[in-house]
């Protein structure tokens, strides 16, 4: 029934406004209904999600899902992303993009317990007021190139840097004069793992103290070169530990709140007094981490320090293994025989240190490692062989001049020597009140690694997870996870091959549009005919 | 219901034939395919050969995608109702034994089908890189294509609404393009304000984010699917009401 011209003309101004108001109300109600419907569809009960991607890149690891489910209060994630410095501009942006997507997934999964704030600091020098305010609250002095992610819960915070935290990056070779040009690339994207560890650290209120013994010529935490331990200190701090340097020879006492004492490849033995301080600490429920250095034998040598806990050190042999040749055979006679790569079969099973490594398919790399042997442990102690050298290894003995030939001689023990050991026992002496924890049995934990460089700057990137897992076990913290990393290297077209690009160019830019145009002309011609 | 679907199907076939009989659709198709092909090569080079990233650019990570998505649907839908109304053809349609909803839905389906064909050039690119020896992540490719079709569906629905509101196709296209530009640049406004409630309100209707966060990376999420379906349905409902109102004028 249409309105006639007369009826329309007779409509008063009020009636017109009333109709307009009704239309607007109907529109408003419809929009509200749409908003409500989308809100309802977001509820967990009605929501279904399917990840179509080949490598499950959009599915969170069950471990991280568990961590998110256990969050008891809101955690804020502040992501500050800035352009990366050369040559990481492209890969840095890719890591940021993947991290943004991961944070989105985590926020969706957390059911509101994880609040993500992406701060726009891309235009250097002109960050938003909100970004600046949060930066002040989080007490961040500066945002490094590439940016960082800060997890915070109340006053506690954890920092995850782009390089080394969110991803391992390889600079490639930007200078073609020296070697073939190679672009920077992502070696592994490890943001999921780092963020999970950060969340776990946040929920752990304690900050265990690691007393790093210095002054014996071991790895120096102030040296930034290959044989320093600056990375070791930084990684421990990033993982929620507090690292304190102690020079026992100068009479400095171990801090009362120290949880772990670390002896990093000492070149000289401890003095008798210093060795007693360490032994007293460990006996009274303290924890000891030691990597074997040059001071093995004698009073104050590492062998005497760890022998009382059932761990012995072979003083003059180095664990070696043949180097795989191009043909696959193992060749001897090279110093490279002292390099060991330990995989799944060399790691202890059902173990807090090695299980995450096994689950994630990681390896441990050791060089010039001493063999460890089971000694006479105290009563009630359990000594566990943590890492074994690969099959067909041997202990290479030096000749009278102290030189190794890296060949398996008749008298050299062959097999799979142990290169890392841990010992666990009830405390041998009363635990001081400062170190006593209500939720924990008083027990002594000792972990010895045979390789001197395992925590050195040049080796730590390969052994970061192993080292952190060792310290977390020593500190009785369950805050370290190792998740399967995503390595997005495979699906890349080699642009240096001209044929592949020219083929795509020909079809995508010329043939396909031309075919369309011809089809269109054909339709037009047939219609005309 | 069966009658409704039959009516829908008849209108869809009629509109699709109408689209492909005219030169506009073919011109748009040739331009889109050539432009996307060229841009795909540019994306491949800038991403240092990362095929997944380059394909993602073509399905929604780049501004070129959003420009095409905002521009093409209004050009297709501008004539669908307003032109027919101006030429008096709509009267025949409205007196035919099909409901107004079936008319709108059939026209919408035809325009969206054409856009699905436009975005299929991304599938062709994926096939080409596979032929070149690098298999792309097909899950993400299909996810991106589905998302692109859903975005186009939403924009076709707004285009139809604009077409139903006016008798002049150019005005309909202009209105729809302006509306689409607003929809696309809405998230940028979010970064200009510090007010959290405005940011949250914008996030709830942010079309770009709803496409990029899920479909583009190979995720089918019922909540995000629902977002597009609900808002498309809302605009189609409004278009149907507007068409219905023509009977009263």
Tell me if A491 and B134 make a contact (CB, 8 A cut-off): yes
What is the C-alpha separation between B190 and B196, in angstroms, rounded?
Answer: 9
Tell me if B218 and A51 make a contact (CB, 8 A cut-off): yes
CA distance A481 to chain B (A): 26
**Are A385 and A416 within 8 A, CB to CB?**
no
Chain A interface, best mutation among B43, B50, B211, by max A CB count within 10 A: B50
Chain A interface, best mutation among B20, B35, B37, by max A CB count within 10 A: B37
3-state secondary structure of A355: helix
Q: What pLDDT does A1 receive? A: 42
Q: Is A107 buried (19+), middle (13-18) or exposed (0-12) by CB count in 10 A?
A: middle
CA distance B1 to chain A (A): 23
Chain B interface, best mutation among A109, A186, A504, by max B CB count within 10 A: A504
What is the C-alpha separation between B128 and B107, in angstroms, rounded?
Answer: 33
Hey, what are A408's tokens?
A: 């398996």
**Are A160 and A138 within 8 A, CB to CB?**
no
Residue numbers in B near A94 (CB within 8 A): 50, 53
**Cβ contacts of residue A4 below 8 Å, gap of 6+?**
none
Q: Is A357 buried (19+), middle (13-18) or exposed (0-12) by CB count in 10 A?
A: buried
What is the C-alpha separation between A188 and A342, in angstroms, rounded?
Answer: 19
Chain A interface, best mutation among B154, B188, B223, B224, by max A CB count within 10 A: B223
Residue written as tokens 């770009």?
B208
CA-angle at A380, arms to A378 and A384, nearest 5°? 80
Residue numbers in B near A491 (CB within 8 A): 50-52, 134-137
Tell me if B128 and A94 make a contact (CB, 8 A cut-off): no
Nearest CA-CA partner of A291 in A446, A406, A423: A446
Nearest CA-CA partner of A283 in A468, A440, A423: A423
Chain A interface, best mutation among B128, B136, B158, by max A CB count within 10 A: B128
Tell me if B37 and A503 make a contact (CB, 8 A cut-off): no
What is the C-alpha separation between A168 and A173, in angstroms, rounded?
Answer: 16
Tell me if A41 and B142 make a contact (CB, 8 A cut-off): no
Hey, what are A520's tokens?
A: 């269109």
What is the C-alpha separation between A43 and A344, in angstroms, rounded?
Answer: 42
Cα A279 versus chain centre, distance = 32
Instruction: Give the side-chain half-sphere CA count within 13 A for A322.
Output: 15
Hey, what are A362's tokens?
A: 């990681």
Tell me if A517 and B30 make a contact (CB, 8 A cut-off): yes
Closest CB from B37, B231, B234 relative to A512: B37
Closest CB from B37, B137, B247 relative to A509: B37
Nearest CA-CA partner of A189 in A315, A52, A94, A107: A94
CA-angle at A488, arms to A485 and A494, nearest 5°? 155
Q: Which segments of chain B does DSSP mark as H helices, in order? A: 2-21, 23-46, 51-56, 63-77, 82-87, 89-95, 100-131, 138-165, 169-192, 196-204, 207-212, 222-246
Tell me if B49 and A494 make a contact (CB, 8 A cut-off): yes
pLDDT by residue, tens only, chain A of 529 residues: 445 555 555 677 888 788 888 888 988 898 899 999 998 988 878 888 899 988 788 888 888 888 888 888 889 999 998 888 888 888 888 899 889 989 988 998 888 889 998 886 765 456 677 788 888 888 887 788 888 899 998 878 888 888 878 888 888 877 777 777 777 888 788 888 889 888 888 877 678 899 999 988 888 898 888 889 999 998 888 778 899 999 998 889 999 889 999 999 888 888 889 999 999 999 998 999 999 987 777 777 888 889 999 999 988 888 998 887 666 677 888 888 999 999 888 999 888 888 888 877 788 999 999 999 998 888 888 899 999 999 889 999 888 888 888 998 887 777 899 999 999 998 888 888 777 766 567 889 999 999 998 999 989 888 988 998 899 899 887 655 666 555 555 577 877 766 778 888 899 999 999 999 999 999 989 888 7
Q: DSSP readout, A384-443? A: EEEEEPPTTEEEEPP-TTS----S--TTS-EE--EEEEEEEEE-SSPPPGGG--TTS--E
Q: DSSP readout, A207-271? A: --EEEEE-SSS--BTT--STTB-HHHHHHHHHTT-EEEEE-GGGTPPPPTTEEEEEEE--SSPPP
Cβ atoms within 10 Å, residue A336: 14
What are the pLDDT digits (tens) for A97-146? 889 989 988 998 888 889 998 886 765 456 677 788 888 888 887 788 88
Cβ atoms within 10 Å, residue A139: 9
What are the pLDDT digits (tens) for B164-176? 999 899 999 999 9
Tell me if B26 and A120 make a contact (CB, 8 A cut-off): no
Closest CB from B20, B52, B125 relative to A508: B125
**Cβ contacts of residue A168 below 8 Å, gap of 6+?**
A186, A187, A188, A190, A461
**Are A389 and A417 within 8 A, CB to CB?**
yes
CA distance B130 to chain A (A): 10
Q: How many residue pairs from chains A and B have C-beta atoms closer than 8 A?
A: 176
What is the C-alpha separation between A348 and A35, in angstroms, rounded?
Answer: 55
What is the C-alpha separation between A241 and A204, in angstroms, rounded?
Answer: 11
Residue A474 DSSP code: H
Tell me if A492 and B50 make a contact (CB, 8 A cut-off): yes
pLDDT by residue, tens only, chain B of 249 residues: 778 888 899 999 999 998 898 888 999 999 999 999 999 999 988 877 888 889 999 999 899 999 999 999 999 999 888 888 888 777 777 777 888 899 999 999 999 999 999 999 999 999 999 998 888 999 999 999 999 999 999 999 999 999 999 989 999 999 999 999 999 998 888 777 777 788 888 888 899 989 998 999 899 999 999 999 999 999 999 999 888 887 665
Tell me if A507 and B124 make a contact (CB, 8 A cut-off): yes
**Are A158 and A240 within 8 A, CB to CB?**
yes
Tell me if A51 and B125 make a contact (CB, 8 A cut-off): no
Residue written as tokens 């940028």?
B188
**Cβ contacts of residue A133 below 8 Å, gap of 6+?**
none
What is the strand order of the sheet A414-415 is part of? A318-321, A393-396, A414-415
In chain B, where the domains are located? 2-246
Say whether the ipTM exceeds 0.90: no
Q: DSSP readout, B217-242? A: GTEEEHHHHHHHHHHHHHHHHHHHHH
Domains and CATH numbers, chain A: 62-195 (3.40.30), 207-474 (3.40.50.880)
Find the radius of gyration of the CA atoms of chain B: 19
CA distance B2 to chain A (A): 27
Tell me if B230 and A519 make a contact (CB, 8 A cut-off): no
**Are A235 and A464 within 8 A, CB to CB?**
yes
CA distance B232 to chain A (A): 10
Residue numbers in B near A52 (CB within 8 A): 139-140, 142-143, 218-220
CA distance A131 to chain B (A): 10
Tell me if B135 and A104 make a contact (CB, 8 A cut-off): no
């Amino acid at each position: 029934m249409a309105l006639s011209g007369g009826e329309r003309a007779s409509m008063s101004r009020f009636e017109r406004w009333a109709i307009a108001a009704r239309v607007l109300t109907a529109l408003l109600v419809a929009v509200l209904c749409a908003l409500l419907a989308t809100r309802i569809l977001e509820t967990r009960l009605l929501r279904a999600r399917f990840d179509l991607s080949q490598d499950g890149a959009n599915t969170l690891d069950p471990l991280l899902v568990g961590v998110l489910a256990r969050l008891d209060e809101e955690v804020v994630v502040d992501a500050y992303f800035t352009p990366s410095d050369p040559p990481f501009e492209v890969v840095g942006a890719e890591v940021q993009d993947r991290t943004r997507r991961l944070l989105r997934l985590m926020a969706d999964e957390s059911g509101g317990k994880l609040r993500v704030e992406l701060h726009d600091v891309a235009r250097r020098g002109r960050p938003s007021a909100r970004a600046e305010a949060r930066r002040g609250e989080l007490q961040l002095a500066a945002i490094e190139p590439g940016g960082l992610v800060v997890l915070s819960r109340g006053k506690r915070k954890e920092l995850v840097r782009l390089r080394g935290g969110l991803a391992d990056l390889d600079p490639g070779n930007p200078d073609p004069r020296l070697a073939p040009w190679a672009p920077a690339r992502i070696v592994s994207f490890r943001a999921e793992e780092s963020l999970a560890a950060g969340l776990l650290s946040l929920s752990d209120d304690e900050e265990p103290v690691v007393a790093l013994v210095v002054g014996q010529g071991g790895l120096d935490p102030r040296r930034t070169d290959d044989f320093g331990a600056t990375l070791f200190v930084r990684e421990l701090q990033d993982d929620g530990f507090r690292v304190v340097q102690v020079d026992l020879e100068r009479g400095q006492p171990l801090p009362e709140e120290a949880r772990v004492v670390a002896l990093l490849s000492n070149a000289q033995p401890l003095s008798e007094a210093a060795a007693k301080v360490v032994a007293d600490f460990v006996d009274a429920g303290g924890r000891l981490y030691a990597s074997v250095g040059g001071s093995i034998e004698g009073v104050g040598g590492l062998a005497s320090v760890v022998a009382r806990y059932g761990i012995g050190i072979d003083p003059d042999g180095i664990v070696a293994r043949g180097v795989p040749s191009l043909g696959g055979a193992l060749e001897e006679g090279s110093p490279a025989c002292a390099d060991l790569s330990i995989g799944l079969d060399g790691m202890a099973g059902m173990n807090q240190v090695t299980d995450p490594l096994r689950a994630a398919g990681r390896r441990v790399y050791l060089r010039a490692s001493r063999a460890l042997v089971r000694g006479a442990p105290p009563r009630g102690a359990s000594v566990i062989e943590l890492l074994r050298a690969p099959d067909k290894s041997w202990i290479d003995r030096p000749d009278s001049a102290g030189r190794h030939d890296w060949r398996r001689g008749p008298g050299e023990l062959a097999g799979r020597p142990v290169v890392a050991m841990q010992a666990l026992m009830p405390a041998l002496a009363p635990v001081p009140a400062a170190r006593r924890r209500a939720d924990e049995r008083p027990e002594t934990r000792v972990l010895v690694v045979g390789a001197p460089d395992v925590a050195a700057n040049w080796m730590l990137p390969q052994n970061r997870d192993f080292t952190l897992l060792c310290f977390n076990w020593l500190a009785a913290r369950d805050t370290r996870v190792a998740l399967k990393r995503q390595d997005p290297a495979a699906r890349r077209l080699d642009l240096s091959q001209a044929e592949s690009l020219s083929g795509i160019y020909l079809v995508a830019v010329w043939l396909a549009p031309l075919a369309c145009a011809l089809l269109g002309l054909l339709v037009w011609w047939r219609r005309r005919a | 219901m069966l009658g409704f679907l039959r009516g829908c199907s008849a209108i869809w076939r009629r509109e699709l034939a109408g689209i492909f009989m005219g030169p506009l659709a073919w011109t748009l198709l040739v331009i889109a395919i050539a432009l996307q092909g060229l841009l795909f090569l540019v994306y491949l080079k800038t991403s240092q050969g990362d095929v997944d990233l380059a394909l993602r650019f073509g399905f929604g990570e780049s501004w070129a995608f959003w420009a095409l998505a905002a521009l093409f649907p209004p050009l297709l839908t501008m004539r669908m109702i307003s032109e027919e109304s101006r030429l008096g053809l709509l009267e025949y349609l409205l007196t035919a034994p099909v409901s107004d909803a079936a008319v709108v839905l059939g026209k919408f389906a035809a325009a969206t089908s054409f856009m699905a064909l436009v975005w299929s050039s991304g599938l062709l690119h994926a096939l080409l890189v596979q032929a070149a020896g690098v298999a792309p992540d097909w899950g993400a490719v299909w996810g991106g294509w589905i998302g692109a079709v859903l975005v186009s569906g939403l924009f076709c629905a707004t285009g139809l609404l604009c077409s139903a509101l006016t008798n002049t196709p150019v005005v309909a296209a202009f209105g729809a393009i302006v509306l689409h530009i607003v929809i696309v640049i809405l998230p940028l406004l979010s970064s200009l304000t510090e007010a959290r409630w405005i940011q949250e309100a914008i996030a709830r209707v942010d079309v770009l984010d709803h496409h990029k966060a899920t479909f583009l990376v190979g995720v089918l999420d019922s909540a995000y699917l629902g977002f597009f379906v609900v808002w498309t349905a809302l605009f189609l409902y409004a278009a149907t009401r507007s068409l219905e109102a023509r009977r009263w004028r």
